[in-house]
Amino acid sequence: MDISIAAEEYHYENRVALTPAAVKSLFRFGHNVFIETGAGKGAGFSDDMFRDVGARIVFSKDEAFMRGKILLKIFPPTAEEYKLLTENQIIFSFLHLVAAHKEGLDTLLAKKITAVGLEVIEDQSGRLPVLTPMSELAGQMSLPIASYYLSNIGGGRGVLLGGAAGIPPATVIVLGAGTAGLNAVRAANGLGCHVILFDTSLDRLRYANDIFGRQLVTYLPFRYNLEKVIPIADVVIGAILIHGAETPKLIPEELVRKMKPGSVIIDISIDQGGCVETSRPTNWATPCYTMHEVTHFCVPNMPSNVGRTATYALANAVLPFIRMVADNGPEKAFADDVGLAKGVYTFDGHVTNEPVGKRFDVKTRKLADLLKGGKTA
């Protein structure tokens, strides 16, 4: 099957969908890989490195989109890129359709695109194998970012996260005990911070206590608890993920107003809408803004700043799914792998993802029924 890898247009998106090693694997199994020139530059992979493993370099965005039956991207297509998609194409990308504009969804349906969201692919245990490594990186990155923006030169309160002898450490509040949240907790604990973790699941909080012992304070996210601790925070890290759905606004604007001047919010959840009411998407060119004297860092593609590490992590996770579709065709691949099928947003002109259907008030069809050629019950 012909597979295309597009260069990313989004600000400072340094990741590329596959490494040269992953491309070589696809080439060895009889697939043709076309990659847009310069696509791997931000991750340290030259055109020659891809050419040496069998890829063909294409020199325009139009050709990159046109060549592949399967199109691989990282960031969702821009409005102009949506226009370049071809009829019945298969796209793999972090699409985040629940937080997207309806025009993009309309294009996917009109062109009968099979749209696979990397962020909603599941494994046999219901985990998110492609999103998980990106969440690991974002969680780890949140503490160095917080450290900079708490410093005077970063516009903060001049606070060192770990404190010093006779000086208490910073208070870091983490919202969500998933992959990103626990990685943020691990990094904060390693620096000696006073860490408070919120989650709706007592099982997740018990698991966190098992890992980190009594160095960690845990709470359920009742409004009373949030009102008690948010005002004492030096850093709030939003790491909430509602699988396939828009993130709830756990922190209202009135609570942000009560935070210390010069404190920091890092909303990792921003690609799904954000969990803080005052959050809005930024980019690596202008990653922060200040509201109510609180610094907000809301970059949707945080792992892009470690483009090489992120690309290796992504390629390791996504390659088996690409191979499955390329080797067997989408219909058989989706029928054989239920977790991969759960990553399908649209198929043959229909929405197959319920949260997206509800978000845009569009009728949803079950993918299994479409694959069988049957009708929805």
- Walking along the chain (377 residues) 10 residues at a time, the average pLDDT comes out as 93 94 96 97 97 96 95 94 96 91 95 96 90 96 97 95 96 97 96 96 96 90 96 97 82 97 96 93 94 96 95 97 97 95 96 94 94 59
Q: Distance of alpha carbon 174 from its chain centroid, rounded?
A: 17
From 199, 234, 267, 271, the catalytic residue? 271
Q: Which fold has domain 135-300?
A: Rossmann fold (3.40.50)
Please classify residue 221 by burial: count the beta carbons closer than 10 Å to its beta carbon, then call 0-12 exposed, 13-18 middle and 19+ buried: middle
pLDDT for residue 244:
65
Could you confirm whether 96 is annotated as catalytic?
A: yes
The domains spanning 2-120+306-372 and 135-300 adopt the same CATH topology:
yes
pLDDT for residue 241:
85
Question: Residue 265 is which amino acid?
Answer: I
Sketch the domain layout of the chain as residue ranges.
Answer: 2-120+306-372, 135-300
CA-to-CA dists, residue 193 to 79, 160, 171, 185, 189, angstroms: 42, 9, 6, 9, 6
pLDDT for residue 131:
93
* Six-digit token string for 187: 């990094």
Please give the helix or strand (H or E) that residue 198 lies within, else none. Answer: strand 194-198
What does the alpha-carbon distance between residue 281 and residue 296 come to, in Å, rounded to a whole number?
10
pLDDT for residue 309:
98
Question: Residue 203 is which amino acid?
Answer: D
Task: Please report, to the nearest 10 degrees, the dihedral formed by the alpha carbons of residues 333, 179, 300, 221 taken in order.
Answer: 120
Could you confirm whether 271 is annotated as catalytic?
A: yes
Q: Which fold has domain 2-120+306-372?
A: Rossmann fold (3.40.50)
